[in-house]
Every structure is written in C-alpha cells, then in structure tokens.
Structure 1
C-alpha cells in the first residue's frame, strides 16, 4: 500500500524542528530556507501548520513542467521531481496553489518534498506527531483533501 504524510495542525507547536530536519537531510546543513517543508504560524491566533507538497490529484506543477521533470511516479503515485531534467524555469513554483514548490537561490534548484524516499525526516523528528507517515487509505485521503480545501480557502482570503 502507498504511504502519505498526514498533517495534524492541532498538534503543531511551531517548533520548526521539521524544517531543520528536512534541510539537514537534503542539504547537509541547518538552513530552513532550503527545507521542503515550511511551518506557517499565526501568532495572534496561536496556530501553526506545517506545509509540504500536498500530492494533488491533478497536480498543476506536473501540467506546466515542459521537460516533465515534475511528474507522477506510476509505481507509488507520488509527484516527484527529477532534478536532472529540470531547466529551472520555475513554472512549477508559480503553478503550485499551496506554494509547496520553491526556488532555492543558493543551490539554484527547485525544492519539493520527496518524502525522503519513504522515511520522512520531518515526521521522524516531530515531537508532537503533528506530521505522520501513514498508509494512504480512503479516510486519510478524505481528511487531507478536506484540510487542503480549508487551507486553500484561508489563503484566498489573505
């Protein structure tokens, strides 16, 4: 069965350990700007939410990627990035409705969650289990889709 990252924003404390773990895993350095996950915090409301690739069913990033560097892996269903095919046009960055594909100026590369090859460092390090690596069941998909819709609506209001 395929797996997915589940976000539990009600458990997130905004510690940003996930950002540090991700940047260390991928870049070998504690550089949150190079993380594939970002924690957004609303101080007044006391609310934080970690955001990474939402693995959209109809992923806009894959549609706009002309060299097909951003594609869906037929084996596991995940949206993946093949850096060797990427031409750095940043169309995927513009297309992602959640802002989960980003451009790293220092590394001159697109940054996008790859779930650490099936062992996500962010979920492993999260002290409150706000991030979990779970089986991709119908109920998990429905919860994630519902949450993504709420986030999309919240960001549309800003």
Structure 2
C-alpha cells in the first residue's frame, strides 16, 4: 500500500520547522525559499497551514508538462519531477491550483515536493504532528478531502 502526507492545520503552530527541514534535506543548508513546503499564516485568524504537493488525482502539472518532466511514478503513484527532462517553461507552476510547484530563481529550477523518497523530513521534524506520513487508506483519503474542503472554504471567505 502507498503512503501519503496528511496535513492537520489545527495542529500547526506556524513554527516553520518543516520549511527548514525541507531546505536542509534538498539543498544541504537552511534556505526556506528553496523549501518544497511553505507555511501560510493568517495572523488575524490565528491560523497556519503547511502546504506542499497534494498529489492530485488529475494533476494539472502533469497534463501541461510537454517534456513529461512532471509525471506520475507508476510504482509509487506519486507525482514526481524529473529535473533532467525539465526545460524550465514554468507551465506546471501556473497549472498547480495550490501553488505547490514553484520556480526558484537562485537555482533556476522547479521546486516540488518529492516526499523525500518516502521519508519526508517535514513530517519527521514537525513538533506537533501537523504533518503526518500515513498509509494511503480510504480513511486517510477522506481526511485529506475534508481538509481540502475546509481550505477551499477558508479561501472563498477571504
């Protein structure tokens, strides 16, 4: 059975440790701008949520990627980025409805969560378990859809 990242925004304190862990894992140093996870905070509401690739069932990023650098791995089912095939057109950045594919101007490359090859450093470091690496079960999918609906409602009220 596959694995998936679950976000529990009610547990997120906005500490941004996940951003630091991600940048260290991928870049070898702390640079939150190079993180594949970004914490968005609504200070007035006292609400923070970490966001990374949502592994969409019909991933728009894979549809628009002409060289097929953005693709679904048949073995894991995860949406992956093959940097060697990427031409830097940034179509995936524009297509992602969650803003989870980004262009890093410093490295001139697309940044997208790869779940740290099955051992996500963001979930491992999170002190409140706001990020959780769990088996991809029906109940986990229901929790993820419920969170997505809440997030959609929160954005529509702004």
| TM-score normalised by the chain length of structure 2 | 0.97
Q: Which residue of 2 aligns with 1:74?
A: 74
Cα distance, 1:9 vs. partner? Answer: 0.5
**Structure 1 residue ranges without an equivalent (≥5):** none
Q: Which residue of 2 aligns with 1:45?
A: 45
Tell me, what secondary structure is at the counterpart of 2:88? coil
Cα distance, 1:43 vs. partner? Answer: 0.6
Partner deviation per Cα, 1:117-146 (whole Å, 9 max, x = no partner): 000000000000100100000110111122
Q: Is the 8 A contact 1:100 1:112 kept in 2?
A: yes
Q: Is the 8 A contact 1:97 1:152 kept in 2?
A: no
Q: Which residue of 1 aligns with 2:152?
A: 152
**Structure 2 residue ranges without an equivalent (≥5):** none
Cα distance, 1:57 vs. partner? Answer: 0.3
Give me the CA root mean square deviation: 1.0
Q: Which residue of 2 aligns with 1:31?
A: 31
Cα distance, 1:149 vs. partner? Answer: 2.9
Partner deviation per Cα, 1:6-55 (whole Å, 9 max, x = no partner): 10101000000000000000011110010000000011111100000000
Which structure 2 residues correspond to residues 41-120 of structure 1 after superposition, within 5 A?
41-120=41-120
Cα distance, 1:151 vs. partner? Answer: 1.9
